[in-house]
Structure 1
Amino acid sequence: MRKKLTLLAAGIAAAFSLAACGAGGSAPASTNAASLDPAKPATLKVGASPVPHAKILEFINENLAPKAGLKLDIKEIEDYQTPNTALSDGSLDANFYQHLPWFEDQVKTKGYKFDHGAGVHIEPYAAFSDKAKSIADIKDGAKVAITNDPSNQVRALKVLQNAGLLKDIKDDSSILSLADAQNPKKLKFSENQPELLVNDLHDPSVDLALINGNFILKAGLSTKSALAVESVQNNPYANFLAWRQDEKGDARIAKLEELLHSPEVKAFIQKEWPNGDVTPAF
């Protein structure tokens, strides 16, 4: 069951963007797993980005959850702020959309009391252009559209560095304070919300756009046509399931965390996105 969830407040999507995540985590300890009864499935309300997250949850809901005594009420959410806001206020039981750098920044700046599971999949960041056919075609002074989300700007900058367009990018670098020595081609950066970067790609004034994986998929793009793609090797941006700390011991969440890391889900991801636009992290 997939439903749209509207923004909790006007302009919330403009405040921050991206999501994302990865890395190690663990399911909440569950002492009452036996209470999940296939004859009377327990409902779990989960917020997720439409693609690939909600699609993965839908596969679980149709193929794995019934036998596990679980029923997922999937809420599709377009922006990156609402899922955590809704999780914090109890509107959601869990969310599935973010990676560790984003999660840690949200917990630190918003004071959320959250825990998270292990990485499920990675969506590589990528650079696209409607003008250039290769990175070599990117000229000095080119305009580059990039996310305004601090936790992902460095990620995007490293894609550019690996493509040979920038140098000496450090984890705490800001696109607003790059020295000329780090930016030898004097690229001009234009910040925007991550969900709007696909629109920027088609802006005649933009030469290159760095786009988040879930928005690549939503726009019908593929990393096969990208000019530069983030490596999935040792990638810290695997997306995972998150829940409130006060839900420790919730058998529903523990079961979903288990199912998200099942061989069936891994096979589904590999079959659905064989070109690596979504790559299992387990």
Structure 2
Amino acid sequence: MSKRLLAALAVVPLVAAMTACAGGAGGDDEVVKIGVVGAGDPYWADYKQEAKDAGINVDIIDFSDYTQPNPALAEGEIDLNQFQHIVYLADYNVSAGKDLVPIGATAIYPLAVYSKKYTSVDDIKKGETVAVPNDPSNLARSLLVLQSAGLIELKGGGSIFSTLADIDEGASKVKVKAMEASLTPTSLPDVAAAVINNDFVEKAGLKFEDAIAKDDPSDPNAIPYVNIFAARAEDKDNPTYKKLVEIYQNSKKVQQGVLDISGGTAVLVKTPVSDLQASLEKVEKETAAQKK
């Protein structure tokens, strides 16, 4: 998942979203609530100020893990969220029977492998264990990263739907253990390596440059892993929300802040919404077929 997929405060009490913000640029009493994972990142303060300068009051709502912002958005407790890539959203929509939609792109974040014991994947010994996030989208992506690093083999070459059952254990160098994404960093003392979402890297006292392997966000097939602003389907054309996306994409302070917090690993993008939606629809169909 994405960076900022992907982290830890207790969830603050939420109230119903204010319907008044659906109409325009927002007055003094109108607040657009945006759910994120990692509200303490400095660039969110810059974002709120630039939104305010544009006449939009924004409240950044922090969630402790990735499973929470989508239900909150679907139930109207927040107005937007910004924490996930398209694959994660597609899995949620299909599993929960919802129709959340992307309204703007933010960045692609490489997914990387870290280790406390080794400085190269080549040094990892046969039979050792590597930890990965257990949510379906990041699990599959993690397995593809491990395959690219030569640590495992996936039956049929793998896909965005690969699971632990798709690992060819006889042809693989390591064992794989899946766990909640926020726990992969804390597992490092007990495993050979772990795939860690960008959200949790610095919180775990790690440096992005310490990664011993990662995927390639410049791959043309990477669009399903573009991180997005998501809204309810009925709000996809909301002019205030579109303006908030533009502020995020065009603010030099915000964009530099995203780069800084990612250790320079984020690839900032402005993928057209039509392309994001087309990718979502495709991945949703594939996801639904996988779940049958």
TM-score normalised to the size of structure 2? 0.77
The 3 A distance-change label for structure 1 pair 214 and 274 is closer
RMSD over aligned Cα atoms: 2.6
Residue 57 (structure 1) aligned to one of 44, 48, 64: 44
Q: Which runs of 5+ in 1 are unaligned?
A: 9-29
In structure 1, C-alpha distance between the alignment counterparts of 2:124 and 2:39, rounded to whole Å: 30
1:201 aligns with 2:188: yes
Measured against aligned partners, the alpha-carbon deviations of 1:204-224 in whole angstroms (never above 9, x if no partner) come to: xx1111111111133242221
1:251 aligns with 2:239: yes
1:152 positional shift: 1.4
Measured against aligned partners, the alpha-carbon deviations of 1:84-141 in whole angstroms (never above 9, x if no partner) come to: 1111111111111010000001001101121112320122211111111211111110
Name whichever structure is richer in helix by fraction: 2
One-letter amino acid of the structure 2 residue matched with residue 227 of structure 1: I
In structure 1, C-alpha distance between the alignment counterparts of 2:37 and 2:42, rounded to whole Å: 9
In structure 2, C-alpha distance between the alignment counterparts of 1:215 and 1:274, rounded to whole Å: 10
Q: Which runs of 5+ in 2 are unaligned?
A: 1-7, 14-20, 271-292
In structure 2, C-alpha distance between the alignment counterparts of 1:222 and 1:278, rounded to whole Å: 14
1:182 positional shift: 4.4
The size of the alignment, in residue pairs, is 249
1:173 aligns with 2:162: yes
One-letter amino acid of the structure 2 residue matched with residue 224 of structure 1: E
TM-score normalised to the size of structure 1? 0.79
Tell me the SS of whatever aligns to 1:81: coil
Q: Give 1:15-54 correspondences, 5 Å limit.
A: 33=24, 35-36=25-26, 40=28, 42-50=30-38
Conservation of the 8 A alpha-carbon contact between 1:5 and 1:75: no
Tell me the SS of whatever aligns to 1:97: strand
Q: Which has the larger displacement, 144-153 or 256-265?
A: 256-265
Measured against aligned partners, the alpha-carbon deviations of 1:3-50 in whole angstroms (never above 9, x if no partner) come to: 956288xxxxxxxxxxxxxxxxxxxxx9964x546xx37410111011
One-letter amino acid of the structure 2 residue matched with residue 191 of structure 1: A
In structure 2, C-alpha distance between the alignment counterparts of 1:5 and 1:88, rounded to whole Å: 20
Tell me the SS of whatever aligns to 1:112: coil
Tell me the SS of whatever aligns to 1:145: strand
1:191 positional shift: 1.2
Tell me the SS of whatever aligns to 1:6: coil
Q: Give 1:109-258 correspondences, 5 Å limit.
A: 109-168=95-154, 169-171=157-159, 172-180=161-169, 182-183=171-172, 185=173, 187-203=174-190, 206-234=191-219, 235-236=222-223, 237-258=225-246
Measured against aligned partners, the alpha-carbon deviations of 1:180-239 in whole angstroms (never above 9, x if no partner) come to: 4542x2x11111000111111122xx1111111111133242221111122221333121
1:90 aligns with 2:76: yes
One-letter amino acid of the structure 2 residue matched with residue 81 of structure 1: T
Conservation of the 8 A alpha-carbon contact between 2:105 and 2:269: yes
